[in-house]
């Protein structure tokens, strides 16, 4: 339950200072007539940029104190607003519940890229080490020389590629950004847990969005997960049984995915060009 306009007005009257530039996130939900949310196994927040769907996710995440990795837009009044919100849980919140944002996915992709770059540098060093060891005249004079002699013997008994593979940590498979993003979701999402996903379609191709949609649907249907998702992806919005809140409407309304404006724009576009297919 979000605070209504009267509750917000009472809060403003209680503030001693009046020189604030913004009262965010106050006056967003109340101006949209958005008072209450009810959740299904999959609940969607749909809307354009600035519609407030990410704000709603952050409010819920803060109210529930779920795991969060990336920072978010906290105003002077964010905690005050969250305190005015009310929430009813029907069972204990799973400890691993978390909010996943685009920043989390982006950081993961950067980490994979950095790791791969480090492995590539190590591979170059091992190529040089192999050649030095293979054609070395080195002789062991003490136990301190054992490791170097072992490298020489290993180099002489193996091809260059086998030597590098045996001395290199398991290489991280090179993935595209979309593949890395999809991998992030499949690694993070576990059974019987609540997840808040902020535009998870970012960085995903249409095919990967379809695969993510199937993964989320299966996770909710067979593995007890619950999802609250902000998105404007038609592939995700089409998830079976999802409750969709249209944040572009005033008041905010619950709609079927085929009634949403952006989905209908896609539909109209492809109908116009249907003969070209």
For 251-276, the pLDDT digits (tens) are: 999 999 999 999 999 999 999 999 99
What is the set of domains in the chain, with CATH numbers?
5-103+177-276 (3.40.50), 105-167 (no CATH)
Q: Is the peptide bond before 25 cis (omega within 30 degrees of 0)?
A: yes
pLDDT of residue 46: 97
Q: Tell me which of 73-77, 183-187, 219-223 is least confident.
A: 73-77
Cβ contact 200:100 at 8 Å: yes
Greatest mean pLDDT among 63-67, 119-123, 126-130, 182-186 lies in 63-67
pLDDT score of 21: 67
- Residue written as token pair 């001395």: 167
Tokens of 256: 């079927």
pLDDT at 27 over 60: yes
pLDDT attached to residue 77: 92
Q: Which of 5-19, 38-52, 207-221 has the lowest mean pLDDT?
A: 5-19
237: number of Cβ within 10 Å: 22
Q: Is 0.75 surpassed by the pTM of this model?
A: yes
Backbone phi, then psi, for 35, in 5-degree steps? -110, -35
CA dist., res. 74 & res. 81, Å (int): 11
Q: What is the reported pLDDT for 183?
A: 87
Geometric angle at alpha carbon 87, from 81 and 93, rounded to 5°: 120
The rounded distance, in Å, linking the Cα atoms of 107 and 5 is: 38
Model confidence at 146: pLDDT above 60:
no
Residues 208-238 have pLDDT tens digits of 999 999 999 999 999 999 999 999 999 999 9
């Amino acid at each position: 339950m979000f605070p209504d306009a009267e509750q917000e007005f009472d809060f403003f009257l209680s503030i001693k200072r009046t020189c604030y530039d913004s009262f965010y996130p106050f006056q967003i939900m109340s101006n949209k007539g958005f008072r209450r949310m009810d959740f299904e196994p999959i609940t969607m927040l749909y809307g354009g940029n600035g519609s407030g769907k990410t704000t709603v996710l952050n409010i819920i995440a803060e109210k529930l104190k779920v795991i969060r990795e990336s920072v978010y837009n906290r105003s002077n009044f964010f905690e005050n607003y969250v305190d005015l919100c009310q929430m009813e849980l029907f069972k204990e919140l799973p400890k691993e519940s978390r909010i996943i944002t685009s920043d989390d996915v982006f950081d993961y992709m950067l980490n994979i890229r950095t790791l791969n770059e480090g492995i590539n540098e190590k591979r170059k060093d091992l190529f040089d080490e192999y050649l030095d060891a293979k054609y070395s005249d080195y002789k062991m004079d003490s136990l301190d020389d054992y490791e170097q002699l072992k490298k020489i013997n290993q180099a002489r008994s193996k091809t260059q590629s086998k030597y590098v593979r045996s001395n290199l940590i398991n290489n991280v498979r090179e993935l595209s950004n979309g593949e890395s993003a999809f991998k992030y979701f499949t690694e993070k999402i576990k059974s019987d847990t609540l997840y808040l996903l902020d535009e998870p379609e970012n960085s995903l191709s249409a095919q990967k969005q379809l695969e993510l949609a199937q993964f989320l649907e299966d996770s909710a249907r067979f593995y007890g997960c619950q999802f609250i998702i902000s998105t404007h992806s038609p592939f995700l919005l089409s998830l079976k049984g999802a409750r969709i809140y249209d944040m572009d409407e005033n008041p905010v309304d619950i709609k079927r995915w085929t009634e949403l404006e952006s989905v209908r724009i896609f539909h109209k576009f492809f109908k116009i060009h249907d003969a070209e297919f």
